[in-house]
Structure 1
Amino acid sequence: MKKSLLIFYFLTIYALAELFWWGYLLIKIQPERKAMILGEGSVFVFIFVVGAIQLFKSLKKERRLNEVQRNFLLSVTHELKSPLASIKLYLQTILKRELDPQQQKGFIKNSLKDIERLDDLVENMLIATKIDNKAYSFPKEEFNFSELVERVADRLQVHTCSSQTIKAEIEPGLSLTGDRFALTSVVTNLIENAVKYSPPCSEIKAKAFRNNGNIVLQVADNGIGINDEEKLRIFDKFYRVGSEDTRKTKGTGLGLFIVKQVLNHHDAQIKVKNNKPNGSIFEVTFNSHVS
């Protein structure tokens, strides 16, 4: 891409230099037509510059797209390799060592959690592709949203700490009419993001409650937080802060894009607020007529 930009700069400068040179020669040969040559030359230069600017923007856009695709492939590769390596290690340990039933059960349970991580990744990629291609219909049904949030929070619970990492405060009996599969993805992505960007064993709060007739979902963390400039971009497809080579947190940049798109199809709004003393709060509000 750098080579393409260098060629573009060279050709642009060369073309402008040639244009001015030929203009100078024409004026020198026919000085009586100076005004006409300058006028027509100015129009040509204007058109040339506008075209060059548009071409430059297209090259820059292509460069950003290539970088985004590269980062996405790196992140997906990492997301796939990590749980696969973990599952392989657990299964090899079960085969090679004499373990008591309790240890075997623990290893199998951890393997299943890693398989669920892979399943979440595949589901994110599938639903993002369908949304992009306008091939997803968002089938609606009435279901218990309270149970959905509780189930997702329990599945994503981190059990390596002495105290629970995810603290769920769910008002019972919250009913929504919507796409259960897509909204499960919304809750999963919001809680997973909170886990990813928080220090180990720090508390994450997942709340679901009714407020003024609307159903509200809040996911709060004590992580690194999000500055105001990035709050405008975090819902863009593939957007992630920093470079994939230096970023420590896992992810593909699809999660919040899916969240925003799904909520748009459910007439729901999402806000990102600063948590105190640090971290972020993602607040989703489902309008009352949705339930």
Structure 2
Amino acid sequence: MTKKIFLSIITICIMTLLAAIFLVTALLYSRSAEIASAEVRTDARLIASAVEQSGGNYLDKTDFGGNIRVTWIASGGNVIYDTDEDPDSLENHSDREEISQAFDSGEGSSSRYSSTIMQKTVNHAVRLKDGSVIRVSGVHSSLTAELMKALSPMLAILIAVVLFSVLAASMVSRNIVRPINNIDLSHPKIKKNYKELAPLLEKLNSQNAKVSRQMDELQSSREQFSLMTESMEEGLIIADPKLIVLTCNSSALRLLGAGSFTQGQSVYALNNSDVFRRCLLNALGGRRSECILRTGDGQREVIASPANSIDMVCGIVVFIMDVTEKQELETMRREFTSNVSHELKTPLTTIYGIADMLANGMVQSGDVAEFGGNIRSEAERLINLINDIVSLSKLDEDAAPHENENIELFALAEEVLDRLKLNAEEKGVVTSLSGEKVSITGSRTILSEVLYNLCDNGIKYNVSGGSLSVKISHIPQRVIITVSDTGMGIPKQYLGRVFERFYRVDKSRSSRIKGTGLGLSIVKHGVLYHNGTVRVDSEEGKGTVFTVELPIEKKQHNEEQGVF
């Protein structure tokens, strides 16, 4: 804007100066031309009067100088006298404009321009009494010639004026633009600026208020979006078509195991595995894609969806979820299904085989009772397995009865040991119960199964002549149940898996011992049902100790604690 004002002022000054010079020169030229014509007319009249009085001798005696040319023309048009040329060499002048006018009316004037010498000749003729004509001619410079004469001073003046105009234009343009440059666009003040800018500044104020409201709304939306995404357990990534991250919450960084990351980097900076790449590229191609990504902390499910705009993909949205527990549960489910199928198939196969032998008469009459006992034993094993599966399923699905009764654990332990008395005698294991009477609130059925399975295992996996001891004690707000035996013990590398369903440390040894393989899993879920903890300590060849801690006041059951 400053440049435009500057150039406009300079242009106006130069054009104004040139126009002024031309007009002044033209006026001066017009005035000088009038003066020159008047002088020629006066000279013609004076000379004509002198010739009337003195005759031709006046012309011969008088020196007219070089400023004017005097010519005397006879009535027929022939030149009688001329100050510049030989009269005989001159042609007839009767056709000349000023001569013709003088013959007719007594006086005549004319002017002729010569482009060669850029001069104008002014002529005036006066008729004498004898019919001859005196003509006086004077030379006057043309306007072009006058301008050419004034060219040098005009250029000097023009240069001086241009320099002055440059300085003035520079100062004026800066002064004009300064108030505009000093306008505070955020808070424009109308009264302190040009009145002509008032409509613009008012509109600017209105736009500023509107933009400010929109920015506040946008900031609020961003904060709300950030708060929502940061509170998500799932990871969220939004990237543009070049896979540059536009937004990314902290859960995504945590789940992908990314270290330092700033928005504006490529999404591959979060994870550069082939599986992750293929998933993102499929989404970028317009197809929703899912994959399971394995990281150091577990397994992540990645769902990448394209963000479509009419007929093109303008970005992708990626969700990341921690499915480690889900995958583990799925693995456990498959293993459980496989194990259940195997455990059910074994006794059924035995029962089917014996029944087939009995049906085909392949069993002697004396052995029928023995084969019948085997069928009963395998059927009992099936029943126990099904009962354990049902109990475990109820605990898993939180379908166990929500009993909140007062249970005296010492008396409950006595009942359990009494039920296992025959088993202990057959194995040659001595049982004992010690401690104090402590009551808690909970489910008597579930706690009975917990104690029964711990004690039953302590007897089954004990050595002949060994011992099993149960101790009931308590600390503030918690009761401690300790079941210890002097049996085979469990190697340390297997201690972390003994609570898994159907897991057996020594399958060859366990196959000789009756059991479903679900006892300790039921113990674990029964303890968790009561918001307690269970741990195992064992030394191979010396025995095993199970320690259960339960809160005395049973808290409200959390449904999620029944799912494993």
TM-score, normalised by the number of residues in structure 2: 0.33
CA distance in 2, matches of 1:149, 1:118: 26
Deviation at 1:255, TM superposition (A): 1.4
Residue aligning to 1:71: 339
In the alignment, residue 337 of structure 2 is paired with which amino acid?
A: Q
Partner of 2:449: 185
Pair member with larger Rg: 2
Q: Is 1:135 the equivalent of 2:399?
A: yes
Q: What secondary structure is seen at the aligned counterpart in 1 of 2:527?
A: helix
Conservation of the 8 A alpha-carbon contact between 1:158 and 1:164: no
Q: Helix, strand or coil: the match of 1:217? A: strand
For 1:1-291, list aligned pairs within 5 A: 47=277, 68-76=336-344, 121-158=385-422, 161=425, 165-171=429-435, 173-211=437-475, 214-243=478-507, 247-274=511-538, 278-290=542-554
Query: Does 1 or 2 have the higher relative contact order (CA < 8 Å, sep 6+)?
Result: 1
Q: How many residues align?
A: 230
Structure 2 residues without counterparts, runs of 5 or longer = 1-271, 280-289, 295-323, 355-364, 370-376, 556-564
CA distance in 2, matches of 1:246, 1:147: 31
Structure having the larger proportion of residues in helix: 1
Change (3 A) 1:211 1:151: same
Q: Give the letter aligned to residue 450 of structure 2.
A: V
Residues 56-98 of structure 1 show CA distances to partners (whole Å, capped at 9, x for unaligned) of x999998886555343333345578999x9xxxxxx99x98xx
CA displacement at 1:267 relative to structure 2? 2.2
Is the 1:75–1:250 contact (alpha carbons within 8 Å) kept by the matching residues of 2?
A: no
Q: One-letter code of the match for 1:152?
A: V
Q: Which residue identity is paired with 1:75?
A: E
Q: CA separation in 2, counterparts of 1:207 and 1:276?
A: 22
Q: Is the 8 A contact 1:194 1:221 kept in 2?
A: yes
CA RMSD of aligned residues (A): 4.7
CA contact (8 A) 2:499 2:524 kept: yes
The one-letter amino acid of 1:71's match is N
The offset of 1:268, in angstroms, is: 1.7
Q: Secondary structure at the match of 2:493?
A: helix
Asked if the contact 1:79/1:250 (under 8 Å) is kept, the reply is no
SS of corresponding position for 1:232? helix
Q: CA deviation at 1:258?
A: 1.5
Please say if residues 487 and 544 of structure 2, whose CA atoms lie closer than 8 Å, have aligned partners that are also in contact: yes
Identity of aligned residues (%): 26
Unaligned runs of 5+ in 1: 1-41, 86-91, 97-112
- CA–CA separation in structure 2 for the residues paired with 1:271 and 1:240: 17
Alpha carbons of 1:199 and 1:63: their partners in 2 closer, same or farther (altered >3 Å)?
same
- Map Cα deviations across residues 28-58 of structure 1 (whole Å, 9 max, x no partner): xxxxxxxxxxxxxx9977645995987xx99
Cα offset, 1:278, TM superposition: 0.8
Of Structure 1 and Structure 2, the greater strand share is in 2
2: CA distance, partners of 1:43 / 1:212: 52
CA contact (8 A) 1:218 1:283 kept: yes
Which residue of the partner structure matches residue 109 of structure 1?
Answer: none
